[in-house]
Homo-oligomer: A and B are copies of this chain.
Amino acid sequence: MATIRDVAKLAGVAVSTVSKVINKYPNVSEETAIRVNKAIEELKFTPNVVAASLSSKQSGRVGLLINTDIQTSAIDEISMQYLKGALHKAQELHIEVVPIFFSMLEGMDEAETEKYLKSQNIKGLVIYGMSKDDYVLQRVIAREQFKCVLIDVPIINDSCSHIGIDHRQAQKDVARKTIMENNTFNGQVLYISGKKNGYVSDERLQGMLELAQELELAVSLHCGEFSEKKAREITFKYGSMHDIIICASDMMAIGAMRALTDMDIFRPVCGFDGISLMGYAGKQMNTVKQNFYDISSEAVAECSRLMGGSLGRKIVAPHELVRIEYLDMIV
C-alpha cells in the first residue's frame, strides 16, 4: 500500500504538504498541488481513513444513530436509505460514518454513552426517528459534547442543526391533490394524525388544518399514533362515514386500506413517507415521498461542517408527491 510518505517522496515534497493538498488547505501553490495530485494518481494512493481519523482532532467520525426499536420493514427501508446516503457522502468527503444501533447503547447511562462514543472517535452524530424529549437524545446532546444533526427534530443551537422536509406544506400538498382528484367528494375528511405533541405530527396536522380552512372542509381528527393497528381500528369505526381518509404516515395508510378492504368498501386513502411497502397494501395511493437518501447525505455534510466550526442552522429538504401502485413496484 502506498502511504502519504510515498506520495511525498515521489512528488518531491514534504508529507505535510501532501496532507494539505488532500484536504484542500490553503498555503499550497497550484503547481505544487498539481505535482502532488499527479503522484497520488500515479501511486493510486488512497488515504488511510483510520489513521486520519486517529490523528485528526478536528475531523473525527460521524455516528449515525439507527432506531429499529419498532420492528417493521418500513422502518428498515427508511433506515437503509439513511445509511446508504450517509455512507456515500462520507466516502465523498473522506470521513467515516459509524452506524450505531440504539440497542448497542442499551444499559449505558449518560456518562457511559459519552465515553463509548468518544472511544470510537466520534465527534458528531446524525440522529433520526426520535422525539425531542427522547431519553437517548437527551443523553447524547446533554452536555453539547457532540455536534448533532437532527432529522425532523427541531432543536437548533451552536452545535445542533435541524434538517427535514417542510412537513406542513407537504401534508397540505398531498391532501389537496387527493381531494382534487376525487370527484365524488363532498367535504367529509377523516384525518388520522401521528403522535400527540410530536413535532412532525403537529406540523402535518397544522398543514391539514390550514388546508381545511382554505377549502372550507369538515375534518374529523383522530390520533393514530403512527400505528398501523390504531389506524385500522379508527378506519373500522369511522371510515364509512367519510369520503376520504388522509393519514399522517404510510404505515397508517396501509392499516386504513386494510380495514377498508375488510369492510369491502372503497375510499381514497393517502399516506406520507413514500415507502415501497405501500405498493403491497392494496390499491394505489397518493403519498409524500421523502428522499431519505438525500436528506441523510446532506445531514452528514452538515455534520462535517459543524465539526469544522460552523454553527447550527435549519435546513429544509425538498419533497415530492407520488402515486404508488403495486404493479409498478415489482421487478
Contact surface of A with B, Cβ cutoff 8 Å? 1, 44, 46-51, 53-54, 61, 68, 70-74, 76-77, 79-80, 83-84, 87-88, 91, 99-101, 103-104, 111-112, 115-116, 118-121, 227-229, 232, 254-255, 258, 275-277, 280-281, 326, 329-331
Contact = CB atoms under 8 A, between A and B. Distances in A.
Given A101-B84, A280-B280, A331-B227, A115 B44 contact: yes
Nearest to A75: B80
A261 B44 CA distance: 56
13 contacts: A1-B115, A44-B111, A49-B120, A50-B61, A50-B120, A76-B76, A84-B101, A87-B99, A229-B330, A255-B330, A258-B326, A277-B277, A280-B280
A74 B72 contact: no
Contacts of A83: 83, 99
Contacts of A103: 84, 88
Contact of A53 (B47, B50, B76, B330): B50
B80 A104 contact: no
A1 B119 contact: yes
A47 B119 contact: yes
B50 A275 contact: no
Shortest beta-carbon contacts, A-B, top 10: A46-B119, A76-B80, A73-B77, A50-B121, A228-B330, A280-B280, A76-B76, A76-B77, A73-B73, A229-B330
